[in-house]
């Protein structure tokens, strides 16, 4: 997103906390109602009207108009007001006005509404194009969120031709707005990618797992409701059949504010999320990433994860007493350590990533998007292949007293540019927006 302000429908929009909000829209002339090639007309009251085959005049008010949205407009798109259309509700035979959203022949067929937005790929980084990158996008414009919620269905993402783009809606509510994961189409370095958010009509049949397909063996957003009874599902967005399961009687109060929506707070006593998945014991290359916060006493340890590849303990990462972040793994039966050289203070939030590249025979450790250590293994070295379940928030030293959010297991190694983009975009998902346009109707031929 460009720093400072940007224009939406001709208005300068100040940014609060890095995220855009929409002002009331008022058009000045017909040109200001042109949205991506759908030429509109400016009404006398400052609302836009757009072509619609269900209205006798051929024109219908914009769905985000402040007065009677979606109502047919008289005048055929031309009036004596210098190019503007005279707004009028259609009337029935009794002479009374029709209800908003209807005509004298019944309800006006709706093709929904849309808002055009653009992703600033430069925010991912300038080192390389990230093919198929799952971008975190947050939109908290109150007018838009209210319109989506009124529509009663989840929004969906398309390109500018109306073709669906793989996406997952993680969160949508009036308080925190909309959080999406969008699988990026192909792009050039630093170019803006134009997309559309559509809502208010029947959505297409899309598969949210396609956001993660081909790369991720598991994605746990850690925002699932807890009941206090063991076995609560911690959903896996990449492979829904391989959800995690809560252990330790995790309570609803342990659904806490995380980095991306909500995370899970572990009690430091007996809480675990266990995952029995197909990738356990089957990975040669991998990447594991998560957001971690340590909330216990400084002189206590806490485990982030263990048994990623099925061995009794390894690979594993934990916070040692007094703060050092440390990881271990096994190749050819030998245990190797990856120290971070960094400490984690109490209440300090970190993004932790451990990457094993089998072809390069390396392990890399990243903290907050930066590589902090790398080790080299013998070429062709093998990893353990035992079948113990993967454990999140638990290890040999016990349970983490702290919060974990957005846990991912990739079945291919992640590049340094990818890791850096994850840190930046997940920490500030509103800043990937280069622009956010006004709400407009979707032409029924698209």
**Structure-model confidence comparison of residues 396 and 2, the more confident one:** 396
Chain centroid, CA 284 distance in Å: 28
Q: Which is nearest to 206 in space by CA: 234, 239, 177, 166? A: 166
pLDDT mean over 154-167: 95
> Residue 60's pLDDT is what?
81
pLDDT confidence of 5, banded at 50, 70, 90? Answer: very low
> Residue 25's pLDDT is what?
63
User: What percentage of the chain exceeds 70 in pLDDT?
Assistant: 83
Q: What is the pLDDT of residues 69-119, one digit of tens each?
A: 677 887 544 332 333 333 333 333 333 333 333 333 333 345 889 999 999
Least confident among 152-156, 242-246, 251-255, 403-407: 152-156
Chain centroid, CA 72 distance in Å: 36
Please state the pTM of the whole predicted model.
0.77
Residue 446 has which token pair? 């698209």
Percent of the chain that is helix, strand, coil (3-state, to 5): 10, 40, 50
What domains are there in the chain, each with its CATH number? 1-22+115-205+417-446 (no CATH), 34-109 (no CATH), 216-411 (2.60.120.200)
**Structure-model confidence comparison of residues 142 and 78, the more confident one:** 142
Q: Which is nearest to 326 in space by CA: 345, 301, 349? A: 301
**Structure-model confidence comparison of residues 376 and 443, the more confident one:** 376
Q: What is the pLDDT of residues 33-76, one digit of tens each?
A: 876 556 788 888 788 888 876 677 778 888 666 566 677 887 54
Task: Evaluate if residue 336 carries a pLDDT over 90.
Answer: yes
> Residue 382's pLDDT is what?
84
199 near 111, Cβ under 8 Å? no
Residue 218's alpha-carbon distances to 74, 273, 429, in angstroms, are: 55, 13, 21
Task: Evaluate if residue 351 carries a pLDDT over 80.
Answer: yes
Q: Give buried/exposed letters for 53-64 (b at 16+ CB in 10 A, else e).
A: eebebbbbbbbb
Residue 291 has which token pair? 């957001």
> Residue 109's pLDDT is what?
40
Least confident among 344-353, 376-385, 389-398: 376-385
> Residue 106's pLDDT is what?
34
> Residue 176's pLDDT is what?
87
> Residue 127's pLDDT is what?
86
pLDDT mean over 369-376: 96
Average pLDDT, the chain: 84
> Residue 73's pLDDT is what?
81
Q: Give buried/exposed letters for 315-346 (b at 16+ CB in 10 A, else e).
A: bbbbbeeebebbbbbbbeeeebebebebebee
Residue 322 has which token pair? 């007094």
**Residue whose tokens read 């990230």:** 130
Question: What stretch of H or E contains 134?
Answer: strand 134-139
Q: What is the pLDDT of residues 167-196, one digit of tens each?
A: 999 999 998 899 999 999 999 998 999 999
Q: What is the pLDDT of residues 229-263, one digit of tens each?
A: 999 999 999 999 999 999 999 999 999 999 988 99
Residue 299 has which token pair? 């002189």
């Amino acid at each position: 997103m460009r720093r400072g302000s940007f224009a939406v429908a001709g208005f300068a929009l100040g940014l609060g906390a890095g995220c855009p909000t929409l002002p009331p829209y008022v058009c000045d002339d017909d040109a200001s109602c042109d949205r991506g090639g759908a030429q509109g007309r400016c009404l006398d009251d400052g609302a836009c009207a757009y072509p619609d085959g269900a209205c006798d005049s051929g024109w219908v008010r914009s769905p985000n108009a402040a007065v009677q949205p979606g109502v047919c407009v008289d005048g055929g798109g031309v009036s004596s007001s210098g190019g503007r259309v005279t707004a009028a509700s259609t009337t029935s035979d009794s002479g009374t006005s029709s209800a908003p959203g209807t005509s004298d022949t019944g309800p006006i067929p709706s093709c929904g509404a849309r808002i055009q937005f653009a992703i600033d790929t430069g925010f991912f980084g300038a080192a390389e194009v990230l093919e198929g990158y799952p971008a975190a996008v947050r939109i908290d414009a109150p007018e838009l969120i209210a319109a989506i919620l009124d529509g009663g269905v989840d929004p969906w993402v398309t390109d500018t031709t109306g073709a669906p783009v793989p996406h997952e809606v993680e969160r949508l509510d009036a308080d925190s707005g909309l959080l999406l994961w969008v699988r990026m189409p192909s792009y050039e370095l630093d170019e803006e990618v134009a997309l559309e958010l559509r809502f208010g009509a029947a959505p297409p049949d899309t598969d949210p797992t396609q956001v993660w397909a081909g790369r991720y063996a598991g994605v746990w957003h850690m925002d699932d409701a807890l009941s206090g009874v063991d076995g609560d599902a911690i959903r896996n967005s990449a492979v829904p059949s391989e959800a995690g399961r809560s252990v330790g009687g995790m309570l609803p109060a342990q659904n806490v504010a995380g980095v991306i929506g909500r995370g899970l707070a572990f009690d430091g006593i007996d809480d675990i999320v266990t995952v029995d998945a197909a990738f356990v014991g089957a990975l040669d290359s991998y990447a594991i990433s998560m957001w971690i916060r340590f909330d216990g006493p400084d002189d206590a340890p806490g485990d982030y994860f263990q048994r990623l590849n099925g061995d009794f303990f390894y690979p594993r990462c934990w916070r040692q007493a007094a703060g050092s972040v440390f990881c271990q793994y096994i190749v050819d039966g030998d245990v190797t350590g990856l120290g971070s050289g960094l400490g984690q203070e109490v209440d300090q939030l970190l993004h932790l990533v451990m990457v094993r590249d089998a072809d390069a025979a390396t392990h890399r450790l990243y903290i907050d998007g930066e590589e902090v250590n790398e080790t080299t293994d013998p070429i062709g070295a093998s990893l353990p292949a035992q079948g113990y379940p993967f454990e999140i928030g638990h290890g040999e030293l016990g349970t983490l007293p702290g919060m974990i959010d957005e846990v991912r297991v990739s079945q291919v190694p992640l590049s340094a540019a990818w890791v850096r983009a994850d840190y930046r975009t997940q920490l500030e998902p509103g800043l990937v927006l280069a622009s956010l346009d006004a709400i407009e109707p979707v032409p029924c031929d698209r």
